[in-house]
């Protein structure tokens, strides 16, 4: 059975590790692909940083800094201090020495003419991830945040330097109108038996993947059922600052509102099914009414067990007879 996950970042990394564990436990000859958000990516000191990809890569390889949710475990920051001293990197953005190894390798391959997809393949081949990752697109579509006073800033500056506290009026993925889905992403969608939307930030991690021209069409015609997992429990984001992003686009921070934002596949939206936490069981009936099959299950991913069980719940909902 083939599973394809869409998302990026810490929530997606935890969920994909749970799905990998679920697959191991059920012993099937299964395959997991991930269509990864690239709109968080940015250039710093001439290096291409790819946070949503690298969070997944490091977590699946087991070399991630679990507390911070990004970067490598056992990190040192000697080079980062030098970059700040030279002024080629902002002092508020920490690039660990081991992490820089990844950015330097990635940038070297990009400068040699490799596509982002080929870079993913090379980076992923160093460890036995048990998962194949594909960029949503091989084109650069960096998210920029439109501020109340007009000048757009890169998402990373808004997110890290300003902690998403600067009032914003919208998000744009620069250059996305010229982007097309990567071949790997399209194949992972068309070949999937189940498509899962990870509990990632709906606006800046899942949104940009869906915004790549032709991506929604590919999802709409896919044979696989599409089931998403809420990243919001009892009106609060599990991690990160998705609430600031949702407020910017006028969506309430609730499991129900995010499902409505994604829309029911039966009426032209994305979702066949949606998992909410037991605390949000009140969302089940209204979402069922608009055609989204909804289950209330424990959403907290605390360890391999709870993550595997959540992944199993998502797969069960996807495979439940329609
Ligand atoms: N997040 C921070 O809050 N502070 C940092 O200094 C920081 C550095 C960093 C370096 C590499 C990388 O891949 C991610 C990094 N992040 C940092 C996380 C990242 O900025 C965001 O959390 C993600 O883009 C959100 O999905």
Sheet of strand 152-154: strand arrangement: 152-154, 143-147, 168-173
pLDDT at 149: 81
The CATH class of 2-42+129-141+175-319 is alpha beta
- C-alpha 247 to ligand 1 mean position (Å): 21
Q: What average pLDDT does this structure show over 172-180?
A: 97
Mean pLDDT of 13-23: 97
| Predicted pLDDT of residue 44 | 97
pLDDT at residue 151, as a whole number:
85
Average pLDDT, integer, range 297-317: 96
**pLDDT given at position 22:** 97
> What pLDDT, on a 0 to 100 scale, did the predictor assign at position 131?
97
pLDDT band with cut points at 50, 70 and 90 for residue 150: confident
Is the CB of residue 93 below 6 angstroms from any atom belonging to ligand 1? yes
Inform me whether the pLDDT recorded for 55 exceeds 90: yes
pLDDT value, residue 239: 85
Report the atom number in ligand 1 closest to the C-alpha of 40: 24
Which pTM value belongs to this model? Answer: 0.97
Per-residue confidence at 92, pLDDT binned at 50, 70, 90? very high
- Which atom of ligand 1 is least distant from the CA of 96? 10
> How far does residue 1's CA lie from ligand 1's centre (Å)?
33
When the pLDDT of each residue in the chain is averaged and rounded to a whole number, the result is 96
Dist. CA 216 → ligand 1 center (Å): 28
> What band does 244 get if pLDDT is binned at 50, 70 and 90?
very high
Rounded CA-CA distance 38/107 in Å is: 15
Is 94 a pocket residue for ligand 1 (Cβ < 6 Å)?
yes
**Ligand 1 centroid from CA 68, angstroms:** 9
Share of the chain above pLDDT 90, in %: 96
The residue ranges of every structural domain in the chain are: 2-42+129-141+175-319
- Residue ranges of E strands in the chain: 2-7, 31-36, 42-44, 47-49, 132-135, 143-147, 152-154, 168-173, 194-197, 226-229, 232-233, 236-237, 273-277, 293-297
Residue 239 to residue 198: CA distance in whole angstroms: 13
Asked if residue 156 has its Cβ within 6 Å of ligand 1, the reply is yes
In short, whether 160's Cβ falls inside 6 Å of ligand 1 is: yes
């Amino acid at each position: 059975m083939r599973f394809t996950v869409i998302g990026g970042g810490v929530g997606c990394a935890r969920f994909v590790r749970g799905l990998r564990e679920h697959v191991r436990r059920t012993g099937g000859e299964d395959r997991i692909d991930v269509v990864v958000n690239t709109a968080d990516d940015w250039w710093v000191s001439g290096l291409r940083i790819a946070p949503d990809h690298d969070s997944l890569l490091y977590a699946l390889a087991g070399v991630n800094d679990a507390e911070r949710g990004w970067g490598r475990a056992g990190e040192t920051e000697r080079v980062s201090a030098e970059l700040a001293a030279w002024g080629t990197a902002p002092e508020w953005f920490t690039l660990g020495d081991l992490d820089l190894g990844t950015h330097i390798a990635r940038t070297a391959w990009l400068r040699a003419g490799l596509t982002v997809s080929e870079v993913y393949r090379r980076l992923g081949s160093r460890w036995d991830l048990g998962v194949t990752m594909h960029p949503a697109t091989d084109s650069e579509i960096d998210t920029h945040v439109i501020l109340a006073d007009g000048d757009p800033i890169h998402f990373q500056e808004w997110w890290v330097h300003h902690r998403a506290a600067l009032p914003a009026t919208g998000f744009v993925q620069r250059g996305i109108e010229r982007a097309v889905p990567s071949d790997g992403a399209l194949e992972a969608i068309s070949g999937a038996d189940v498509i899962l939307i990870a509990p990632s930030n709906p606006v800046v991690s899942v949104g940009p993947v869906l915004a790549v021209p032709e991506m929604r069409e590919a999802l709409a015609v896919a044979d696989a059922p599409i089931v998403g997992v809420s990243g919001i429990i009892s009106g609060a984001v599990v991690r990160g600052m998705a609430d600031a992003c949702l407020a910017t686009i006028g969506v309430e921070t609730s499991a129900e509102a995010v499902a409505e934002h994604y829309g029911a596949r039966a009426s032209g939206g994305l979702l066949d099914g949606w998992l909410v936490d037991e605390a949000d069981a009140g969302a089940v009936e209204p979402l069922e009414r608009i055609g989204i099959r909804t289950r209330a299950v424990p959403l907290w991913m605390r360890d391999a067990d709870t993550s595997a069980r959540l992944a199993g719940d998502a797969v069960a909902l996807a495979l439940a007879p329609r």
